């Protein structure tokens, strides 16, 4: 085990291969989603991060460059989903990924990189925008057609991972503009050679959303910077505050219930052929917390925004260990979603799943007491009244950590 501890909950077809598949459809590197992980991108972190707190940072960084990396195992669960989980000391993480049509999932697999010595990391999700990027831009080695959305999400994922590791290792500041320009350059390099037959403002080359949180754990606090484009979301989940959004969707409609009801068009997303923005929002979280990143397949098919938190905590309470939580969450989301779905979460300051369950028990009971009644009403008008009432009650806490509307303009 190395002094450096970084890990990556990834086993996706890596974006380099997606890029190859895109630029040269029959290239030898083209892969399907069932290929093995690229081992060099996966690092082991089964180590006490506290032991490094006083270590020489330069030494840590040097070691980090050459550190052997181990894979966080992925587990296929019933229903075609895949989950990952890891338990560190004082922190834990899990990821889930599911696809609506086997082999065609346009979400990239979730990203988690955690660097033990500095207790910094990044979690993220990437949702290939199927409507805007439906054109086939590549064919995998095994003959599976790949859409622009499929390639876009994987290219974006690889870029964010590379950006974080490079800046970490070179001790460069994590400037948002450097991430945006890296994404723009990577996506532009991956542009299809053959233009889409369809034109217009709704079409994008390699379109993808992104929601990531770069974090640093320090003296019991978690310093976060949410980074996003589009309508994937990052949240903080705390026993006292519940689920609180750290991002604001890039849509004209800003009300989360209306976003659910309308499914509005995006005003910004990552892509290879137009300007885009990466918005950022810094938040400092005091005490134990969970960072959650999710694509709209997780939160966009519920009746009212509080339902997503009920699903997160309901599966937590039923689970026996972190792997079981991930599997239950994947099964739960697959049960209600109409889309590909991916989620990544990292919990800090809890001794284990038992403490997580204990600390969030009251919160789930409160949610069930406030919002469960009415969810099963057969009368559409009554259900509508219920979801509006539930949202009015839930909204203030949910939006407490959100960036202001002015912040993103």
**Residues 381-400: x where in contact with other proteins by CB under 8 A, - otherwise, as a string:** --x-----------------
Q: Residue 375, class by beta-carbon neighbours within 10 Å (0-12 exposed, 13-18 middle, 19+ buried)?
A: middle
Stretch that binds other proteins, among 120-128, 170-178, 232-240, 303-311 (CB under 8 A): 303-311
Cβ distance 260 to 300 under 8 Å?
yes
The angle, 0 to 180 degrees and rounded to 10, between the axes of the packed helices 57-66 and 148-170 is 140
Report if residue 100 touches other proteins, rule: CB under 8 A: yes
Report if residue 376 touches other proteins, rule: CB under 8 A: yes
Q: Which of 50, 56, 175, 368 binds other proteins (CB under 8 A)?
A: 368
Using CB under 8 A, count the residues that bind other proteins. Answer: 45
Report if residue 74 touches other proteins, rule: CB under 8 A: no
Q: Cα(237)–Cα(240) distance, rounded to whole angstroms?
A: 9
Q: Which of 248, 311, 359, 363 binds other proteins (CB under 8 A)?
A: 311
**Residues 254-293: x where in contact with other proteins by CB under 8 A, - otherwise, as a string:** ------xxxxxx-x--------------------------
Report if residue 314 touches other proteins, rule: CB under 8 A: yes
- Residue with Cβ nearer other proteins (139 or 261): 261
Q: In what order do the strands lie in the sheet with 111-115?
A: 6-8, 111-115, 120-128, 208-218, 221-229, 279-286
Stretch that binds other proteins, among 6-14, 42-50, 84-92, 296-304 (CB under 8 A): 296-304
Distance of closest approach, residue 276 Cβ to other proteins, in angstroms = 16
Cβ distance 75 to 82 under 8 Å?
yes
- Residue with Cβ nearer other proteins (15 or 294): 294
- Residue with Cβ nearer other proteins (257 or 293): 257
Report if residue 134 touches other proteins, rule: CB under 8 A: yes
- Residue with Cβ nearer other proteins (114 or 332): 332
- Residue with Cβ nearer other proteins (164 or 276): 276
Stretch that binds other proteins, among 27-35, 86-94, 179-187, 252-260 (CB under 8 A): 252-260
Cβ distance 203 to 196 under 8 Å?
yes
Stretch that binds other proteins, among 22-30, 31-39, 181-189, 295-303 (CB under 8 A): 295-303
To which H or E segment does residue 260 belong?
A: helix 256-262
Collapsing DSSP to helix, strand or coil, 52 comes out as: helix
Q: Tokens 């002094």 appear where? A: 3
Distance of closest approach, residue 30 Cβ to other proteins, in angstroms = 24
Q: Which residues contact 118 (CB under 8 A, 6 or more apart)?
A: 52, 57, 60, 168, 216
Report if residue 46 touches other proteins, rule: CB under 8 A: no
Q: Cα(374)–Cα(354) distance, rounded to whole angstroms?
A: 31
Angle at 392 between CA 212 and CA 225, to 5 degrees: 15
b/e burial code for range 32-41 (CB count within 10 A of at least 16 → b): ebebebbeeb
DSSP 269-327: -B-SSS----EEEEEEEESSEEEEEE-HHHHTTSSSTHHHHHHHHHHHHH-SSHHHHHH
- Residue with Cβ nearer other proteins (46 or 253): 253
171-230 positions binding other proteins, by CB under 8 A? 197-203
Distance of closest approach, residue 102 Cβ to other proteins, in angstroms = 12
**Residues 332-361: x where in contact with other proteins by CB under 8 A, - otherwise, as a string:** xxxxxxxx----------------------
Report if residue 166 touches other proteins, rule: CB under 8 A: no
Q: How far is CA 12 from CA 27, 83, 154, 168, in A?
A: 18, 12, 8, 22
Q: Cα(324)–Cα(308) distance, rounded to whole angstroms?
A: 18
Q: Cα(125)–Cα(298) distance, rounded to whole angstroms?
A: 11
- Residue with Cβ nearer other proteins (163 or 301): 301
Q: Which of 86, 114, 310, 363 binds other proteins (CB under 8 A)?
A: 310
Report if residue 373 touches other proteins, rule: CB under 8 A: no
Report if residue 101 touches other proteins, rule: CB under 8 A: yes
**Residues binding other proteins (CB under 8 A):** 100-101, 130-131, 134, 197-203, 252-253, 260-265, 267, 300-303, 307, 310-311, 314, 318, 331-339, 368, 372, 375-376, 380, 383
């Amino acid at each position: 085990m190395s002094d450096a501890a970084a890990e990556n909950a990834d086993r996706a077809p890596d974006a380099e291969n997606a890029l190859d598949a895109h630029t040269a459809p029959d290239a030898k590197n083209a892969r399907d989603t069932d290929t093995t992980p690229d081992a060099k991108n996966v690092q082991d972190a089964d180590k006490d991060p506290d032991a490094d707190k006083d270590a020489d940072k330069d030494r840590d960084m040097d070691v980090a460059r050459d550190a052997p990396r181990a894979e966080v195992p992925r587990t296929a669960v019933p229903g075609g989903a895949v989950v990952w989980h890891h338990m560190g000391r004082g922190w834990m993480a899990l990821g889930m990924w599911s696809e609506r049509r086997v082999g065609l999932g346009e979400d990239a697999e979730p990203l988690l990189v955690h660097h033990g010595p500095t207790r910094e990391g990044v979690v993220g999700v990437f949702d290939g925008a199927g409507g805007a990027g439906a054109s086939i831009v590549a064919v995998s080695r095994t003959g599976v057609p790949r859409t622009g959305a499929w390639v876009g999400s994987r290219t974006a994922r690889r870029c964010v991972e590379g950006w974080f590791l490079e800046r970490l290792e070179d001790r460069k500041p994590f400037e948002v503009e450097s991430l945006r320009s890296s994404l723009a350059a990577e996506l532009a390099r991956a542009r299809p050679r053959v233009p889409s037959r369809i034109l217009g403002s709704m079409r994008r080359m390699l379109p993808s959303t992104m929601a990531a949180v770069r974090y640093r754990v320090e003296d019991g606090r978690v310093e976060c910077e949410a980074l996003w484009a589009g309508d994937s979301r990052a949240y903080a989940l705390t026993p006292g505050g519940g689920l609180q959004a750290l991002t604001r969707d890039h849509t004209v409609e800003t009300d989360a219930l209306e976003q659910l009801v309308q499914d509005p068009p995006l005003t910004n997303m990552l892509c290879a052929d137009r300007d885009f923005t990466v918005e950022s929002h810094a938040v400092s979280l005091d005490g134990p917390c969970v960072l959650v990143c999710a694509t709209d397949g997780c939160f966009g098919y519920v009746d009212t925004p509080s339902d997503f938190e009920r699903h997160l905590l309901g599966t937590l309470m039923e689970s026996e260990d972190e792997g079981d939580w991930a599997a239950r969450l994947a099964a739960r989301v697959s049960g209600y979603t109409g889309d590909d779905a991916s989620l990544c979460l990292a919990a800090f300051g809890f001794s284990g799943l038992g403490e997580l369950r204990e600390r969030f028990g009251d919160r789930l009971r409160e949610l069930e007491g406030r919002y469960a009644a009415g969810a099963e009403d057969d009368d559409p008008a009554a259900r509508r009244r219920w979801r509006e009432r539930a949202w009015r009650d839930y909204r203030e806490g949910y939006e407490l950590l959100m960036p202001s509307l002015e912040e993103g303009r």
